[in-house]
Chain A
Amino acid sequence: MNIIAILIPVALLLGGLGLAGFIWSIRSGQYDDLEGAARRILIDEEPDEELLDVSQEK
């Protein structure tokens, strides 16, 4: 049963990491605009001119 002396702290640590991440995400305003994030993924990146040149050379 000694294994639980390791496993329980590990479980708590992992859970705590998740919690810390969640609180950080609230702090940094990631819940301020929930709909916006879902739409922004559809915005195309500005075409990068250097990359464009390379692809045209092919």
Chain B
Amino acid sequence: MPNGHALRAVPVGADEHALNLLVEGVHCANCIARIERTLGAREDVTEARVNFSTRRLYVRWRGEADAARVIVDTVEGLGYGAIPFDPEILASQGSEESKALLRAMGVAGFAAANVMLLSISVWAGLWSDMDASTRDFLHWLSALIALPAIAYSGRPFFRSALAALRGGHTNMDVPISLAVILAATVSLIETIGGGVHAYFDASITLLFFLLVGRYLDLRARAEARRSAERLLLLRATSALVETENGSVSYVAVEDLVPGMIVRVAPGERFPVDGEITRGQTEIDASLVTGESLPQAAARGVSVFAGTMNLIASVAVSVGRIGDDTLLAEIVRLIEDAEQGRARFVRLADRVARWYAPAVHILAAATFAGWVLFSFVGWQVALLHAVAVLIITCPCALGLAVPVVQVVASGRLLKRGILLRSGDALERLAAVDTIVFDKTGTLTMGRAVLTNGDEISDADRTVAMQLAAASQHPLSRAVLRAFGAGRPPADAREVPGCGVTATIDGSTWRLGRRGWCGAADRPVMGRGSELWLSRDGVPVAGFTFDDDVRPDAARTVDTLMARGFQVELLSGDRREVVDRIGEALGISQRRGGVSPTEKVARLRELEANGRHVLMVGDGLNDAPALAAAYASMSPAAAADVSQIQADLVFQGDLLAPVATALEVGRRANRLTMQNIGLAIVYNAIAVPFAMAGFVTPLVAAVAMSSSSLLVTTNALRLKREYADGGK
């Protein structure tokens, strides 16, 4: 029988098949080695390669497509999630684009290094005895290297500038292209005429640095795109469909139609939105609601694609499929929100908006002035104009922002905070409102046993043994509290009820209240509970709760004292939200909020002129994280949420939120100073260039010293922290 995974295997060559898998849970070198070695040890596998950056696995084997099932099972048996995907669907254009940029960068780097070498000889020749013919020869050589390299490496900028001009607007690539082309052309004219002023080095070096920046930017964006792709892949790829005569067969998810009955085994994700028609189970719906504790589900209960079936096989009648599912809706929300954020204009770009025209006007004025009011001829006038273009080359300005970012992100990293997007610091500095999610953000996001002290040692030993036989989240919480026991030989998990086993001649049960004969006992605690019974008589009850992060109250107090407006938005039940909000002193709170409503609330705050920092972890928070002005996630969050967040923080404390906001403010102050310095530099240098006093050597010295100045200023961020550590 063909199986679901075989549908994704593609034939390679005459007798081989290959499968592309997304693997979840690969964290370190050991993970790579375990997967590759285990697969490689199989006779039929000819290649198994993990790509750690993209968390993808490529496997190739001899034989039929059916072996795909065994491959997937092998990887899952090692404890990793494995989802086959069709590489055709996940566009790989990003990697082509990045390779083209890398090649352009390599060529520009090669040319820049060699031309600079020649330029230094020319500069040295200004003082020594270099004659005109040698200088001309070196200029010609520079031209020979620089011109083809500029034509090749400059294409990304030229193309973008052309597209912008055709569309009737302008972008930063227009002045860049203009400066590079003009400088190269004028230098060529100078060289032909045997003149002194050739700027090949300036134009090719500028191109090289700009290409480096562009490549780094592309890599960051590719990562964001991969996150959306991964989310879509949470959808199952195939489903086990029951036909009317009771037989079952695998069908690709795209071929499902509403009304079909699909069977979902424990540990699988629901492939569609639908309703349970047979069976009883528990569902991990954290994907949709953010609720960390499993929920019971029986006939008639609605389930959503992407949520996990935990303990028993159920049949589901297909309701909505593909793009109509709630999961697809979440993906759409994220995409919409990302487009919204793309409208945010970085400080550097805002400066560029008036900087570029100003430079052009100054250069044009220089040319016109020299032609009209002097007798030097148009060639020299053009040369002075180009000197203006080059000396204002946005080196200092281009460095002003990124250098501060590098220093600040290094600072944050030491405190366990990872800065994920370049302009996040700028946005953090403007934040005035903080919205927290509850589960996993203010709380630790996992069940914790709360009455461990009340359980007798004998009961504790039995509970440890029984819990060791179950994968249920509450059982695992018992093990975390007491330590792992040795599961009894006849331990058996009863779907929807609990675990049962015979120990020392008595039948013990660990599970639901009713199943353990405790239906008439008083309700304990506020969260979930488990009961332990011996031969049908309840002997102990366990209560669980989701623990608040140890410093949550202190951090919330600090933030409020600093003047931030703090709000709590949670998908969890209202009572729970009220209790946590009460404990932490957050008066603005809402429970039972859907992902769409979260985004709506953020939009509302935005409309009131607030700049919101969203702190959340669940997949249900992902759209809100993407929609907020700035966002943070704990490192334990779902992959997708982490990638939507601007910052990711590690550890059990909430304090990093306050730290990040503080660093953001300081960094922004330094950025402003740096831009100020760059402007002062230009105010001094440009008049000299306009007056025609700038030789290539002066330009080189001026540009380097201005760059040094802004870099040194940015490093102060490091020192301030070393001293005060505020």
A contact residues vs B (CB 8 Å cutoff) = 1, 4, 8, 11-12, 15-16, 18-19, 22-23, 26, 31-36, 39-44, 46
Decide if the interface of chain B is mainly helix, strand, loop or mixed.
helix
Across the interface, do A19 and B110 meet the contact criterion of CB distance under 8 Å?
yes
| Min CB gap A12→B, angstroms | 6
Q: Provide the bound-state CA to CA distance between A15 and B29, in Å.
A: 35
User: Do A32 and B51 contact each other (CB < 8 Å), given the known contacts A15-B113, A26-B99?
Assistant: yes
Query: Which B20-64 residues have C-beta < 8 A from chain A?
Result: 28-30, 32-33, 37, 50-54
Q: Does B695 contact A (CB under 8 A)?
A: no
Across the interface, do A34 and B53 meet the contact criterion of CB distance under 8 Å?
yes
Across the interface, do B141 and A32 meet the contact criterion of CB distance under 8 Å?
no
Q: Which residues of B contact A34 (CB under 8 A)?
A: 53
Q: Which residues of A contact B28 (CB under 8 A)?
A: 39, 42
Q: Provide the bound-state CA to CA distance between A25 and B32, in Å.
A: 22
Q: Which residues of B contact A11 (CB under 8 A)?
A: 114, 117
Across the interface, do A33 and B51 meet the contact criterion of CB distance under 8 Å?
yes
Across the interface, do A39 and B32 meet the contact criterion of CB distance under 8 Å?
yes
Across the interface, do B141 and A40 meet the contact criterion of CB distance under 8 Å?
no
Across the interface, do B107 and A19 meet the contact criterion of CB distance under 8 Å?
yes
| CB-CB nearest in chain A for B100 | A26
Query: Which B273-298 residues have C-beta < 8 A from chain A?
Result: none
User: Do A15 and B50 contact each other (CB < 8 Å), given the known contacts A8-B141, A26-B99, A32-B95?
Assistant: no
Q: Does B102 contact A (CB under 8 A)?
A: yes
Q: Provide the bound-state CA to CA distance between A1 and B29, in Å.
A: 55
Across the interface, do B52 and A46 meet the contact criterion of CB distance under 8 Å?
no
Q: Does B134 contact A (CB under 8 A)?
A: yes
Query: Which B553-578 residues have C-beta < 8 A from chain A?
Result: none
User: Do A36 and B114 contact each other (CB < 8 Å), given the known contacts A26-B99, A43-B33?
Assistant: no
Given contacts A15-B114, A22-B106, A42-B28, 17 further A-B contacts (CB under 8 A): A12-B145, A15-B110, A26-B102, A26-B103, A32-B53, A33-B52, A33-B53, A35-B52, A35-B53, A36-B32, A36-B52, A36-B53, A39-B29, A39-B32, A39-B52, A41-B29, A46-B37
Q: Which residues of B contact A15 (CB under 8 A)?
A: 110, 113-114
| Min CB gap B45→A, angstroms | 16
Q: Does B98 contact A (CB under 8 A)?
A: yes
| Min CB gap B473→A, angstroms | 30
| CB-CB nearest in chain B for A38 | B52
Across the interface, do A40 and B54 meet the contact criterion of CB distance under 8 Å?
no
Q: Which residues of A contact B29 (CB under 8 A)?
A: 39-43
Q: Provide the bound-state CA to CA distance between A19 and B30, in Å.
A: 34
Q: Which residues of A contact B50 (CB under 8 A)?
A: 36
Q: Which residues of B contact A19 (CB under 8 A)?
A: 106-107, 109-110
Looking at A31, A36, A40, the one whose CB has the most chain B CB atoms below 10 A away is A36
| Min CB gap B684→A, angstroms | 36
Selected from B51, B110, B134, the residue in CB contact (under 8 A) with A1 is B134
User: Do A31 and B99 contact each other (CB < 8 Å), given the known contacts A26-B106, A39-B32, A43-B32?
Assistant: yes
Q: Provide the bound-state CA to CA distance between A4 and B32, in Å.
A: 51
Q: Provide the bound-state CA to CA distance between A17 and B85, in Å.
A: 40
| CB-CB nearest in chain B for A39 | B29
Chain B 178-207, CB-CB to A under 8 Å as 1, else 0, gives 000000000000000000000000000000
Q: Which residues of B contact A4 (CB under 8 A)?
A: 134
Q: Provide the bound-state CA to CA distance between A46 and B38, in Å.
A: 12
Q: Provide the bound-state CA to CA distance between A4 and B135, in Å.
A: 12
- What are 15 A-B pairs with beta-carbon distances under 8 A? A11-B114, A15-B110, A16-B110, A19-B110, A23-B103, A33-B51, A33-B52, A33-B53, A34-B53, A35-B52, A36-B53, A42-B28, A42-B29, A43-B33, A44-B33
B contact residues vs A (CB 8 Å cutoff) = 28-30, 32-33, 37, 50-54, 95, 98-99, 102-103, 106-107, 109-110, 113-114, 117-118, 134, 141, 145
Q: Provide the bound-state CA to CA distance between A22 and B107, in Å.
A: 9
Across the interface, do B52 and A31 meet the contact criterion of CB distance under 8 Å?
no
Q: Which residues of B contact A1 (CB under 8 A)?
A: 134
| CB-CB nearest in chain B for A44 | B33
Q: Provide the bound-state CA to CA distance between A44 and B470, in Å.
A: 34
Across the interface, do B51 and A18 meet the contact criterion of CB distance under 8 Å?
no
| CB-CB nearest in chain A for B99 | A26
| Min CB gap A51→B, angstroms | 18
Q: Provide the bound-state CA to CA distance between A18 and B112, in Å.
A: 13
Q: Which residues of A contact B99 (CB under 8 A)?
A: 26, 31
Q: Provide the bound-state CA to CA distance between A18 and B114, in Å.
A: 12
Q: Provide the bound-state CA to CA distance between A23 and B107, in Å.
A: 9
Looking at A8, A12, A15, A39, the one whose CB has the most chain B CB atoms below 10 A away is A39
| CB-CB nearest in chain A for B134 | A1
Looking at B52, B141, B145, the one whose CB has the most chain A CB atoms below 10 A away is B52
Q: Provide the bound-state CA to CA distance between A39 and B98, in Å.
A: 22
Q: Which 3 A-B pairs have the closest CB atoms?
A: A36-B52, A42-B29, A19-B110
Q: Provide the bound-state CA to CA distance between A16 and B51, in Å.
A: 30
| CB-CB nearest in chain B for A1 | B134
Across the interface, do B98 and A31 meet the contact criterion of CB distance under 8 Å?
yes
Q: Provide the bound-state CA to CA distance between A41 and B145, in Å.
A: 38
Q: Which residues of B contact A23 (CB under 8 A)?
A: 103, 106
Looking at B29, B30, B102, B141, the one whose CB has the most chain A CB atoms below 10 A away is B29
Q: Provide the bound-state CA to CA distance between A22 and B687, in Å.
A: 42
| Min CB gap B215→A, angstroms | 10
